[in-house]
Amino acid sequence: MFTGIITDVGRVRQVEKRGDTRFVITTAFDTAGIEIGASIACSGACLTVVERGEDWFAVDVSAETLAHTTLGDWQPGSAVNLERSLRVGDELGGHIVTGHVDATAEIVSLEPEGDSLRYVFRAPAEFKRYVASKGSVALDGVSLTVNEVEDDCFGINIIPHTQSQTTFGEAQPGVRVNLEIDVLARYVARLVEAS
């Protein structure tokens, strides 16, 4: 479990194709404190650490994950939002994020709004019903509040702090991001379907 509060932006150092794909990611985390087998959310996808070094860790990614996330687009140099898993007693600053990416959303537009940037994202049709005004979503692992929803598009303001501490400082229209719908929205929708 995660909170959607990014604590480092790493970079893909190496991509190795084998049965699965191995990514080596540089990080500012103290890797001595990362156990082999630990979970780290990498741009929203919960991945298992299989190896580590002084300033890097490695994860293996299956074809299924590559097909349903943006991880298949990663190349050496790609920026990656990182968050270590939540520990009992940690502050829950964002919202509950599982690290199970539902789909990808596309950045449709971005415009300055005060000091913030107003992003508009397009969700896949089958997931638009889970996105609600003033609700939460995780985009590339970042916990964000939805401002408004119009059909399959939704708007979010990203403040300067979030721009500087995540990959959203580099994001542009046309780019895909990993979308995880709010786990509460998923269960409410299931209950409504069942009644």
Domain pair 8-84 / 103-194, same fold: yes
Position 86 scores a pLDDT of 82
Going by CATH, does the domain composed of 103-194 fall within 2.40.30.20? Answer: yes
Task: State percent of the chain over pLDDT 90.
Answer: 86
Instruction: In whole angstroms, give the CA distance from residue 49 to residue 120.
Output: 33
Q: How confident is the model at residue 107 (pLDDT cuts 50, 70, 90)?
A: very high
Per-residue pLDDT, averaged over 170-179, amounts to 96
Domain ranges of the chain: 8-84, 103-194
Question: To which H or E segment does residue 23 belong?
Answer: strand 21-26
Q: Residue 13 corresponds to which tokens in the numbers above?
A: 């150092």
Q: Which has more confidence, 92 or 55?
A: 55
Q: Are 108 and 153 contacting, i.e. CB atoms less than 8 angstroms apart?
A: yes
Q: Which residues contact 128 (CB under 8 A, 6 or more apart)?
A: 149, 151, 152
What's this model's pTM, rounded to 2 decimal places? 0.93
What is the assigned CATH class of domain 8-84?
mainly beta
The per-residue pLDDT for 118 is 97
- In which residue are the tokens 């490695």 written? 58
